[in-house]
Amino acid sequence: MGSKLQQQINQIREWVNLRIYDSKPGMLLWLRRISIPLSLTSVAALMAYHGFQLNDAEELLVELLLKGTIAFYLIKYLIQLFFSFSPWQDIKERRWEALFMGSMALYILAVNLFDEHIIQSLGQTLGLDNLEALFMIFVQGYFLLFVALEVGKASRFLPKVGMNPAGMLVISFVSLAVVGAGLLAMPEMSNTEGSIPLMDALFTSVSAVSVTGLNVMDITSILSFKGQFVLMVLIQLGGLNFLTFASMLALLANPSMGRRIGSLMQSGGGSGGGGILVKQIIRFSLFFEAITMVLLYFSWGDYPFEHWGDKVFFSAFHAVSAFTNAGFSLMPEGLANPLLTNNTAFVVIIGLSVIFGALGFTTIHDLFSSQATRNRRKNPWTHLTINTKIALYATIILIPVGALLFALLESNGVLAGMSWAERSLAALFQSVTLRSAGFNTVDVGALTTPTLIIAIIFMFIGGSSGSTAGGIKTSTFTLVFLNAMATIRGQKRVEFSRTTIPTGLLNMASSIFLFSASSIFLGVLLLSITDGHLSLEQLAFEEVSAFCTLGWSTGITEELSEMGRIILISSMFIGRIGTVTLAFALTSSKKASTKYSYPKASVQVG
């Protein structure tokens, strides 16, 4: 009986599909054409709602526009299901979207037909008065996600206008930074009268998107809660790695193009096969950030919070800032606050989160993913990839060396007067963060000159490839170092961990090294012209910190001229995506002809 009924349903469905087949392309095309301008208009309305003080009529207009847009999405979803040849399969594959649409439909019907506010009633039952407000924030966030997906689908047309992946990468960064600056410049984003100056908003936005952490203003006192929340979102989007962001856009536009960008996650062709998936990167990020947030919530000690909600937000903000290696803090003194400096649990949690973020997504995938663990269990002889080994060796070597140097050079400096345990904790934490994160539990402006020089070297090396950290990356530094040692020893090949490093990778590493060093030199030169009243030592440290997206400062950021700030903005921009773009250009699929060769030249070197 059941099979006969199912057969009849299938016959009816087939008859309907045949009748609507011709109208399907046109209907879906019109829905797509309507959704993009409507979505962008609704986003603008949301920005106005949260960024400006609106009167009752304007708030009502925004509310009607948002409700109309959500209703359009519901209708669009139902039409897409109607035109689908297998609607149940679509619901299973897009179950989260189906769950959201079903919840919104139920909520709208309950309010309009029965005047029953389900979420509000549930909140009263649970004793959570703000549950409906939180639900609406969630709805708005999910709505923005829909808009992002619609815009992402539109990116498939970029190849038709000659947009290459490197260009898409640059445009994605610029667009995000400009939008972030516009949001931060809105009146409701600041606690001061009026709005934040546009240059300060742009500097802060670029610093957040590039996960640098340099500030030209006190974000604790100047930014309102809304402004701090926007800052956290910008940090998160930047911390998800521009390779990930570009890979998502490119995969929508051209699968082969997306794979080429994704292959860069392997640092130029390691032994690990194809790049890890975007979903895995997002999953790893959110997982580690959630764990860090929970641990931080219980580790603040005696730090005074006015409300438990502030404690939750501070924990979330610093979890995101730590894992993305951004180095932003909501405390006026940063982590140098006396209540936090010697809080061992808090410092260790932040430090471990920084280390995991700086290891790189490929390393995390190779170490912790279920697939890699399953493979090693089945095949015990399976070894870690070369990328993972370099990342682990660099972390194991550089952190203790940095801590030892910091402890020795600052024994009579910022560490003077501390106990042995306090010195060890401070030196170890500074060593962890000075390659990428930018957090500090001591006064950076009081560091001695030798310490600043060591910090510049560590900042230049940076974190691991495919990570949220900055610098030239540990893999680049390792290849340049191994190549130099092989040349000194007269070896014809560069070898590491029983593998031979291809010449192409060595050339790429040398190019990135030279490009980065030249960019930093040019930045220091320009800063010495625009801000010559400051010492060369301070300017050089500031430029390296900006280009390597570290965020440490000797305290001169706010003193820089407007041209000096523009130079740092450019340095953060180039430092974040310049080396990636260069690496992509060097891995172009277009190969020069090798059917001929010129005579070998004899050039004196040294």
Q: Rg for the chain (alpha carbons), in Å?
A: 27
User: CA-to-CA distance for 554 and 535, rounded, in angstroms?
Assistant: 11
> Quick one: tokens of 283?
């999953």
pTM score of the predicted model: 0.81
> Quick one: tokens of 467?
């990570």
- How does DSSP assign 585-605, residue by residue? HHT-S-PPP-S--PPPP----
Q: Closest by alpha carbon to 466, among 606, 288, 329, 325?
A: 325
The pLDDT, as a whole number, for residue 386 is 84
The pLDDT, as a whole number, for residue 18 is 61
Please state the three-class secondary structure of 82-104 as a single string. Answer: HHCCCHHHHHHHCHHHHHHHHHH
User: CA-to-CA distance for 558 and 217, rounded, in angstroms?
Assistant: 7
> Quick one: tokens of 485?
């040692």
User: CA-to-CA distance for 55 and 452, rounded, in angstroms?
Assistant: 52
The pLDDT, as a whole number, for residue 76 is 81
Compute the CA torsion angle 270, 276, 278, 282 (nearest 10 deg): -100
Q: What are the residues whose beta carbons fall under 8 Å from the beta carbon of 306, sequence distance 6 or more?
A: none
Domain borders along the chain are: 20-159, 361-586
- DSSP state letter for 223: B
The pLDDT, as a whole number, for residue 397 is 92
Cβ atoms of residues 567 and 523 within 8 Å: yes
Q: Closest by alpha carbon to 129, among 140, 117, 121?
A: 121
Cα dist. 494→315, 386, 491, 503, 587 in Å? 45, 14, 7, 8, 20
The pLDDT, as a whole number, for residue 268 is 35
Mean pLDDT, the chain cut into blocks of 10 residues (606 residues total): 61 62 70 75 76 79 78 80 72 72 73 66 61 60 61 54 63 85 89 85 93 89 89 87 51 44 41 51 85 94 83 93 91 84 92 90 79 73 79 91 94 88 92 87 90 94 83 90 90 85 86 91 95 93 93 90 94 81 56 66 68
Q: Give the three-state DSSP class for 195.
A: coil
Q: Closest by alpha carbon to 554, among 536, 541, 535, 565?
A: 541
User: CA-to-CA distance for 15 and 65, rounded, in angstroms?
Assistant: 38
User: CA-to-CA distance for 434 and 397, rounded, in angstroms?
Assistant: 14
Backbone φ and ψ for 202, nearest 5 degrees, come out as -65, -45
